[in-house]
Amino acid sequence: MIDTVALPRPYQNYVYAYPHKTAYRPLTPRPAIADLWSGESTGALSLYLHIPFCEVRCGFCNLFTRVGAPDGLTGRYLDALTRQAETVRAALGDTQPVRFANAAFGGGTPTFLEAGELSRLCDIAEQVMGADLRAIPLSVEASPSTATADRLGVLAERGTTRLSLGVQSFIDEEARAAVRPQRRADVEAALGRIRDTDIPVLNIDLIYGIDGQTAASWRLSLDAALAWRPEEIYLYPLYVRPLTGLGRNVDSVAAEHDWDEERLRRYEQGRDHLLAEGYTQVSMRMFRRLDAPPQGPDDYACQTDGMIGLGCGARSYTSGVHYSFDYAVAPREVRAIIDTYTTTTDFTGAAYGRVIDGDEAERRYLLQSLLQADGFSVAEYRGLFGRDPGDGFAPELESLAERGWLADAGSDRLRLSPRGLAYSDAIGPEFFSPAVLAAMAAYEHR
């Protein structure tokens, strides 16, 4: 049996993209967007539109978002989003076809926008950027209080294929403990409205590790979600981040071994319950119902294809540079960045980001593939990078094997074992480059 004392802490850094945003720095001089996309493949891009507004900021949230919007701010934000979209679409040019394989509206809470503003957001994606929202997968994030019938009607009519509802817990006391004031009755009502639409895929987000949560209360939340037969369920471990509501009240330096063990138990409980209820595991967090309908054609590969991010909290990816706007969590800083964005008229340059050189593209591919339950083909990896994963990352992979975190040893497919998937948030940072780790360590949270 593996000595668990020697294992790294299971919850370190949620790796949903690489390099991490805290490794970004001002790009000096600012490269032109047109130059960054010159020569890039644009046949299968992802389009992401970011809305940085929420009705309340949850205690665990470290996303780029502000609470509320003074009169006219959402309109000014959409004005700026339109200017940015026009600039970016012109920068992409017409020398080769520009096609978006999927689209997403995130935040923040996109459904913070009123129904007419959501229509305008869709117009930006379709009429300015040229994305055919009714022909590609379109995912939109929502909260229970903003999932109103008129907003949902707009999203359904414009082609939304997936609606993700942030529930986190069906227990009112747990929601309050996570600084997310909501009532179960309101959550259930929102779920009912979503099911009344033609949106084919419902995702429900749940969080484990909340103060006071027990095996019994976690099971109650799981079963309450399952009662709606959502096509997808995401199970997130609770993190306490700097400058968040919970982060201001918790000693982040204190030993958290017991909390780690508790979260691991809740993860395993949730995983096993969902597998028994007819779901398949896609990643550490994502579970999909076995008979869920497909969202539609999607030939986009997040490991290699480009992404266009619009909005002051969005990121864009080319093969050589990842770029965005400034990032912050503290309310005053966020408000200042949004105010600057809404008055910006020149979007021709990339402000913040990181050059993807050396083996960074290889690390990105490995991370974003290995942390999926299916893993990846070694032969395909070899075709992309001219070498096997073990040629560049032998110590890291050997360490995973010694811990029992790799499955199918010796096969042509590299993937994690069930225990390895449970430790995904510990595995990710082990493949970060020294340069990225140093930049992240030097980042000043604000």
Please write the tens of the pLDDT for every residue from 157-203.
999 999 999 999 999 999 888 767 789 999 999 999 999 998 999 99
Which stretch of 11-15, 77-81, 203-207, 408-412 has the lowest confidence by average pLDDT?
Answer: 408-412
Q: What ranges make up the beta strands (E) of 258-378?
A: 279-281, 286-289, 307-310, 315-317, 321-324, 352-355, 376-377
The rounded distance, in Å, linking the Cα atoms of 265 and 11 is: 13
The rounded distance, in Å, linking the Cα atoms of 218 and 403 is: 28
**Tokens linked to 202:** 């419902």
The rounded distance, in Å, linking the Cα atoms of 210 and 238 is: 6
160 compared with 339, residue with greater pLDDT:
160
The rounded distance, in Å, linking the Cα atoms of 281 and 232 is: 10
Q: What's the pLDDT score for residue 108?
A: 84
Residue 119 has pLDDT above 80, yes or no: yes
Write down the mean pLDDT value for the chain: 89
Proportion of the chain above pLDDT 90, given as a percent: 73
Residue 398 has pLDDT above 80, yes or no: yes
Q: Does this model's pTM top 0.85?
A: yes
Please write the tens of the pLDDT for every residue from 4-28.
447 888 888 777 789 988 899 999 9
Contact between residue 207 and residue 242 where contact means Cβ atoms under 8 Å apart:
no
Q: What's the pLDDT score for residue 424?
A: 95
Return the SS3 of 97.
Answer: coil
Q: Which helix (H) or strand (E) holds 162?
A: strand 162-168
Contact between residue 138 and residue 161 where contact means Cβ atoms under 8 Å apart:
yes
Proportion of the chain above pLDDT 70, given as a percent: 90
Contact between residue 74 and residue 132 where contact means Cβ atoms under 8 Å apart:
no
296 compared with 394, residue with greater pLDDT:
394
Contact between residue 199 and residue 228 where contact means Cβ atoms under 8 Å apart:
no
Return the SS3 of 375.
Answer: coil
